Amino acid sequence: MTMEIEEVSSCGGLPLLSLNHVSLLCRSVWTSVRFYEDVLGFVAIKRPSSFNFNGAWLYNYGIGIHLIENPSLDDFDTIVEPRTINPKDNHMSFQCTDVGLVKRTLQEMGMRYVTALVEEDGIKVDQVFFHDPDGYMIEICNCDNLPVLPISSCSFKPRARSFKKAAPTKCGFMENMMMESLSMDILNISF
């Protein structure tokens, strides 16, 4: 069974489908490619030969990472470690199957990291944060433990910096599409 992606004009946004790639400036393409291959499991792919600058494209997990070499620190605002690892800083986040294995692997590689725990209604999410060679923050987590609940399905509505209790609302179009997609994913996994 094939599921078509339907654009939702009532959302008012652009007709987006998914994240395609993240582009990062790096001091050394070679160093960064090794990091994204060895640590995160990305694979180098062919990039257009018409580019007249040093870079690399990597792909895995349905997204790409495009690296653009710029060895001059003055041209961009990244900071190399030992920068403080701050979970509240800009970062890219990846789901994982085993946070414990992630931590053990990072320890074996001698990489610095910090952990955080998010808890909501008895559900726990483990997070591991660390930097790539250019100081960009990476998060590895089991965030899929938390259900994706649109605000419209929650029993509260934000109002002037506080949450006021309101009667639960019925699921709308997006909630139904998300549940249908989840159901299809479960069916695909079980067969």
Residues 6+ apart with CB under 8 A from 96: 102, 140, 141, 142
143 pLDDT above the threshold of 80: yes
In the chain, the N- to C-terminal Cα span, in Å, equals: 13
Predicted local confidence at residue 17, as pLDDT: 87
Q: How far is C-alpha 3 from the chain's CA centre?
A: 24
Percent of the chain with pLDDT over 90: 53
Task: Kindly tell me the sign of the dihedral angle through the C-alpha atoms of 21, 138, 189, 153.
Answer: negative
Separation CA 156–CA 158 (nearest Å) = 7
More confident residue, 7 or 109: 109
Percent of the chain with pLDDT over 70: 68
Taking residues 29-44, report their average pLDDT: 97
- Tell me the two tokens of residue 183: 């159901």
Separation CA 53–CA 30 (nearest Å) = 14
Average per-residue pLDDT for the chain: 80
Single out the residue of 85, 95, 83, 84 nearest to residue 126, CA to CA. 95
Active site positions, annotated: 139
C-alpha dihedral, 99 to 104 to 106 to 111, nearest 10°: 130
DSSP conformational letter for 3: -
pTM of the model: 0.71
Separation CA 151–CA 155 (nearest Å) = 8
| Three-state SS at 47 | coil
Query: Between the ranges 57-66, 149-158, 173-182, where is the mean pLDDT highest?
Result: 57-66
Residue 58: HSE in the Cβ half-sphere, 13 Å Cα cutoff: 23
Residue 138: HSE in the Cβ half-sphere, 13 Å Cα cutoff: 22
1 pLDDT above the threshold of 90: no
pLDDT band at 164 (very low <50, low <70, confident <90, very high): very low
Write the pLDDT tens digit of every residue in 49-75. Answer: 999 999 999 999 999 999 999 977 545
More confident residue, 73 or 151: 151
